[in-house]
Amino acid sequence: MSVFKDYNKIITDLDNYMIEILGNSEYPKQLVDPIKYIFIGKGKRIRAILLVEVCALFELPYKDIRNIALALECIHTYSLIHDDLPAMDDDDYRRGQLTLHKKYDEATAILVGDALISLAFELLATPNDDIDNECALNLVKKLAKCSGLGGMVGGQILDLKISSSTASIDLVNNMQQMKTGALFHFACLAGPIIRGNDSDQKIFAQFADFFGSIFQISDDLIDIESTLSEAGKNVNKDKEKDKYTLIEFLGVDGAKAQIAQKLEDVRILLHDYGVKSERLINLCQELVDRRS
């Protein structure tokens, strides 16, 4: 069974939780409706699934990390909304439908993104009997770091500014680790942070690097090999917009070989966790097998 399909219950719960939050009568309908449009029933929730799976390995039940999972998806969704804007990637389609600024307008898209950022940190700061205040503060700091200057936003500016005169495999790899990989770091480190185990944090920081590489290279291959209907977003956009990916340097065959090596690296890294790591390994393979 697909790991993604196996998590339908959690994906549905996160949607229902968001609907519950948006039911607050104080929230403007002009923001609530666009958030529902872009969030509810959309996306595979890969980051939330990864977070839940790593936390499960550390025997942290879903109910204790529900807010964290939704906060992470709020940050990811905001990043997609802003990434699609005309000032950045100027995309027309996302998650199988018109991008938010195409469906509504640019101002709405910007404000929805802003609202999702605020909601993410509100969720992380909400009291939880099973996560103490110090741990909650560490999670807030980690998500801020992973999504900010040295993480996702920093990676986005590098992506926008890379040119033919500056592009190199090291620069592109660093950009992708920041823009895409940083949120995977948060997903992989939330569990070890809650458990307070430094050695596990080091191992899962390395796992996050491997997972991020597998995801990004697979995503770049989808951009080359999939159709719009399969991917649910514009395809071949990197080539059309002179965007640089690792495939530009490795070639398709080299990229696929690197994925295979990263999968083996994951198996070696998680070997000592035994059967508890099997679903994480399967999740990595699922990234390779997907078409969107």
Domain boundaries, the chain: 3-289
pLDDT of residue 1: 41
Whether 246 and 176 have beta carbons less than 8 Å apart is answered as yes
Query: Phi, psi (5° rounding) for residue 127?
Result: -55, 140
Residue 164 has a CB neighbour count (10 Å cut-off) of 7
Options 3.40.50.300, 1.10.600.10, 3.40.50.620, 2.60.130.10; which CATH number does 3-289 get?
Answer: 1.10.600.10
Compute the half-sphere exposure of residue 38: CA atoms within 13 Å on the CB side of its CA.
31
The residue count for the chain: 292
Indicate the residue type of 102.
Answer: K
Q: What ranges make up the beta strands (E) of the chain?
A: 93-94, 97-98
pLDDT of residue 165: 81
> Is the backbone of residue 196 left (phi > 0), alpha (psi -120 to 50) or beta?
left
Cα distance between residue 91 and residue 101, in whole Å: 9
Average pLDDT along the chain, 292 residues, taken 10 residues at a time: 71 97 97 98 95 97 96 98 96 94 98 99 91 94 98 96 88 96 98 94 98 95 71 56 84 95 98 96 92 71
pLDDT of residue 238: 56
pLDDT of residue 226: 63
Whether 71 and 140 have beta carbons less than 8 Å apart is answered as no
Contacts of 245 (CB under 8 A, 6+ apart): 172, 176, 216, 220, 223, 238
pTM: 0.92
